[in-house]
Amino acid sequence: PVVDAVNALFAHAETHARGAFRFQQDGNNPVPFQPVDCEGKQEQLQIAGKPQPAITAWHQPAANTEKGVTGGRVYLTVMAQVAASEIVRWLELAKAGQAGFAEPGKPFKPLQPKDIAILVRTGKEANAIRQALADRGVASVYLSDRDSVFASAEAPDVLRWLRAVAEPDNARLLKPALASAGLALPLPQLAQLFESESEWENAVLRFRSYRVLWQKQGVLPMLRQLLADYTVAGRLLQQENGERALTNLLHIAEWLQQQSHTVDGEQALIRLLADRIANPSEEDVLRLESDADLVKVVTIHKSKGLEYPLVLLPFVCSRRKAGGDVVSYHVLDEAQGDYVALLELSGAANDRADDERLSEDMRLLYVALTRARHALWLGITPWAERVNASSNHLHESAFGYLLNGGEPIAAEQLAQCFPAAAVTVVPLPTVSSVRYEPPVDDTPLAPARTLPRKAAAEPWWVASYSALKTGELQALAADAQAVAEPEDPRQSTADEEAEAEGTHSSQAVMASGDALTMHQFPRGPKPGTFLHSLLEWAAGEGFAMALQQDAARRDYIAQCCSKRQWDKWIDPLDGWLRDLLDVPLPVGSQQIRLADVQHCLPEMEFWFESRSVNTTALDTLVQQHTLAGAVRPQLLYNTLNGMLKGFIDLVFERDGQYYVADWKSNWLGDSADAYTVDAMRDAILHKRYELQYTLYILALHRHLQDRLPGYDYDQHIGGAVYVFLRGIHNGNTRGVHFEKPPRGLIEQLDVLFAGDGQECAA
């Protein structure tokens, strides 16, 4: 019956002057409509116990009876409500066994949501019908959604979570993550979190555990754990469109896991996601949220080649007219015997462009009407763009051309324009707000399968010297009480006390009228980070420029000091920084002024692979080959398996040799005389800085191997320059500790980190 009805409609359209598909000219039609035959099916659609017509037209009378038109918005809203109401009625009948498919000799098959397809032209139409269905409890899926998952509301939430997990102690990042719509914590719970110290500490600890999970197992397991801890999936699946939101979250999480293999570290992955959110790509289209028993909403374009038991075209009378400042259309090139596209300014060209639009719409209408297996429903009305239009525009649509060849159709004549017996025209069904209650599936679940063996996750993680040394991720340093250099501004309260002690000391000096020196400068991680920032600024400006531009240097120091109310320190710090840039630093057998360094890179980040590195073997090698084998605290046993990362304060080149430099703000005494060779050596041993600079040299060695033609360790590596910033006025040492780890040590470490620990141990 569907094939016969479509044959009758297009046979009627073929009688128009341009033919059904509008190729006919001067009696010649290269693409005529050809009626088709079919074998037919024994299965029959029945609703309320009655067979259904092949094509049913829901006739909406003109909303503006005076002008005989129905505005586009009214048409969209009413037809969406009508279609959704009818679908609910059919599905409720199906639960009672009164709507479905009957076939001789076979059991009756009740109608299911997945048997129904609604064909649309635009996202606006799709949204209208999906919302109407959702209001009535009918779940649907849009099979033609081309939006990017990174343009969804869930993407910024994932970005907030990643930032908080990467820096869980940063309240400015953790608070937005906890308050995100994705976690949907109730406001009273959020208030309790932000006001209660114990609750806040629990949240910080939880996000710290997420960071460990991210580093050891990857970003996908971490995000899944976060979603489970905050019961995100269970909550979303109880909401309308919750399945869509959950699918987006899982889609983004899987994308992040894939991208994590192409970038180095958490921050790089965070930057990649932030960039993708700012510039979403059409390649990252939304995934289908479900293949379950859902009503399908699909564009006519996407439906080509597919078949559905029931098809609804509730907006078949609408059209989008072509036009604009510049339009395109095709003309026949007699020489080439083919059509070519032309671009023209609007005017008469608009008519040509819209004529082509109508022809294409006719071909799409043919696609739409031939998708149904059993029946179609059409929403018809004297359509106009606006309800106050002087007349309807139905004849400008493909459906209007199908009925009347492009000639205007009066509102009162619409129901009579169909060819005999092809379409059953009925009054608009009653809109209902009845909600659909899906039948409960009480089929018992099969018992869960068990793994035949225990799955052991590989202990893969991202390690760094500072994190390991402070004991944050399986302590690497045996002397856990020793205070690390201020690479992490969040250290122990002992540091805060030391900083306060230094502040009181400086205040006492001020009161006595003596000049301030760096030996009275506050101690601890925050002042250390402050000094690092001054040197990073000087390197960025160029050491020579920072030395020469007295006003710019002092102005920058003043700005930094004013933020901490350290105005009394502006001049002492300016003099100290000027001297540091100008004095010759003893580096091995050379004297190097920072102001003479022209090629340098501050805060160089490095990452390299660590394959099951035994820290005991690492410690043995470093102790044997550095600082003449002096006694020092032992490293605790651990395995570095994954990546080793770090930041080098400064890498610089001088006379063809490359050095790593690190700024140390350690306080060794109340005068420059305290910064002797032995005192600095003891501090290096106690803090295990020699392990730090050995790893830095290894990173530089690997980098130069890849980048520098003809690289040779002995020729091109200068060594490690560790500058104790408070000791630059020591006339002998200038506060500099220097060592160049031997080539054999670096080569053995290279092998060790590549995964051949046996060879190194031997």
Axis-axis angle for helices 123-135, 72-95 (nearest 10): 40
Distance of CA 673 to the CA centre of its chain: 55
Axis-axis angle for helices 219-229, 197-217 (nearest 10): 150
Which residue among 115, 284, 574, 662 is the active-site one? 662
Residue in 131, 38, 35, 24 with CA at minimum distance from that of residue 76: 131
Q: DSSP assignment, residue 612?
A: E
Burial (CB count within 10 angstroms: exposed 0-12, middle 13-18, buried 19+), residue 762:
exposed
Axis-axis angle for helices 570-582, 525-541 (nearest 10): 50
Rounded CA-CA distance 179/190 in Å is 7
Asked if 436 and 136 touch (Cβ cutoff 8 Å), the reply is yes
Rounded CA-CA distance 713/721 in Å is 17
Residue ranges of alpha helices (H) inside 542-635 are: 543-548, 550-562, 570-582, 615-625
Q: Max alpha carbon distance in the chain (Å)?
A: 111
Residue in 697, 598, 708, 686 with CA at minimum distance from that of residue 648: 697
Q: Which residues are within 8 A (CB) of 142 and not within 5 positions of it... i.e. 6 or more apart?
A: 126, 130, 297, 298
Active site (annotated) includes residue 555? no
The phi and psi torsions of 748 (rounded to 5 degrees) equal -70, -40
Hey, how many other C-beta atoms are within 10 angstroms of the C-beta on 95?
A: 14
Rg (CA), the chain: 38
Burial (CB count within 10 angstroms: exposed 0-12, middle 13-18, buried 19+), residue 204:
middle
Active site residues: 662
